[in-house]
Amino acid sequence: MAELKTSADYVPMGDQPKAIDILAEGLLNGERYQTLVGALCAMVTAVISVKFLTRWFTTKTLTPFGFYSLVAGLLCVIRFA
């Protein structure tokens, strides 16, 4: 397998180096579909979320979200002002 080359401007930060090492180790061990499984899990989560939110907005209003936004905004103003 060819070595992965990136731009010299790109420097992995935070937990990225560890994640890169784990993915590379999996590829070397023959786990070819690990990123596909992750993408499919993300897609299923997104579909479920969209279905839930679509159903929520057709039967309910945004009033609770409005109250939440006001309270959160006021708390932020109090805390950071």
Residue 3 lies in a domain: no
How many domains are contained in the chain? 1
Structure tokens, 43: 């897609």
Residue linked to tokens 């989560």:
45
Residue 36 lies in a domain: yes
Looking at residue 48, its pLDDT comes to 96
Question: Could you list the residue range(s) of the whole structural domain that residue 32 is in?
Answer: 16-80
1 vs 57: which has the higher pLDDT: 57
60 vs 70: which has the higher pLDDT: 70
Residue 70 lies in a domain: yes
pTM: predicted TM-score of the whole model, two decimal places = 0.51
Residue 45 pLDDT exceeds 90: yes
Q: How many CB atoms within 10 Å of residue 34?
A: 13
Residue 6 lies in a domain: no
